[in-house]
Amino acid sequence: MTDLMPRVARKRMNKASKRFKRSLKLLENILFILFMAVMAVLIFSAAQSRITGKEPSLLGHRLYIVDSGSMSPTIDLDSMIVVKEMDAEDVDRGDVVTYYGNTESVRITHRIAEVLEDGSFITKGDANTALDPVPLDGGKVIGKVVLIVPLMGVALRFLGTLEGIVTVAVLGILWIVLPKLFARKGKRYKGYRRPVSEVGDAQKTD
């Protein structure tokens, strides 16, 4: 009876250990897939912007890097924002919107402070003390900010370069190859058995 209990406990521990390893492996695969998916989207967006000369767009959403602190602390410098494309009729007071400035090469992200009767808007940066002097025409509205990722702009700029693309590719390859190498090396160590000599086989020497 005393010998049976440790065996049962060992079996339970082995099962729990196997379950834990399987769960860990599943989590690792999920994180890898998410990482590669995010990197693929960012690389695609950066490449699309470089090739077409237009801002990155995916499924009705556009990605921008914030180059000023006029919306801090809501949106800090070097943040990446995701803007859902919307018509002027679909945005309202209090929404943070991205719109074209004097030309389409200039994009501004400010908050709508007031909606005027003619359909135009009064905007303001959260960090600014005064309202923007010129009302925003509804036709210049690109969309509403739906997601803010602090400091992601730094990574997005890097991914837009050849060095960034190569770095992501190398990291992806290492993520796939290294675990397999370690697993193979671990199997070799497990398969190795140190030879044991019995006392009776030892020969006496003078």
| Predicted pLDDT at 97 | 98
Burial (0-12, 13-18, 19+ Cβ within 10 Å), 94: exposed
| Predicted pLDDT at 103 | 87
Would you put residue 137 in left (φ > 0), alpha (ψ -120 to 50) or beta? beta
| Predicted pLDDT at 169 | 77
Number of other CB atoms surrounding residue 55 within 10 Å: 18
Quickly tell me which residue has 């860990």 as its tokens.
24
Q: Cα-atom radius of gyration of the chain, to the nearest Å?
A: 30
Distance (Å, rounded) from C-alpha 111 to C-alpha 127? 11
For 57-152, CATH gives 2.10.109.10
Q: Which amino acid is at 179?
A: P
Torsion angle (degrees, nearest 10) of CA 5, 8, 10, 11: 170
Quickly tell me which residue has 């767009």 as its tokens.
57
Quickly tell me which residue has 């398969």 as its tokens.
191
Distance (Å, rounded) from C-alpha 148 to C-alpha 64? 10
| Predicted pLDDT at 203 | 46
DSSP β-bridge partners for residue 107: 100
What sign does the CA torsion over 155, 157, 163, 166 have?
Answer: positive
| Predicted pLDDT at 77 | 92
Distance (Å, rounded) from C-alpha 36 to C-alpha 168? 9
| Predicted pLDDT at 5 | 55
Number of other CB atoms surrounding residue 148 within 10 Å: 17
Phi, psi dihedral angles at 6 (to 5 degrees):
-60, -35
| Predicted pLDDT at 202 | 42
> Residue ranges of the domains in the chain?
57-152
| Predicted pLDDT at 31 | 76
Mean pLDDT per block of 10 residues along the chain (206 residues) reads 60 73 79 73 65 70 90 93 94 96 91 94 96 95 95 78 78 75 63 50 46
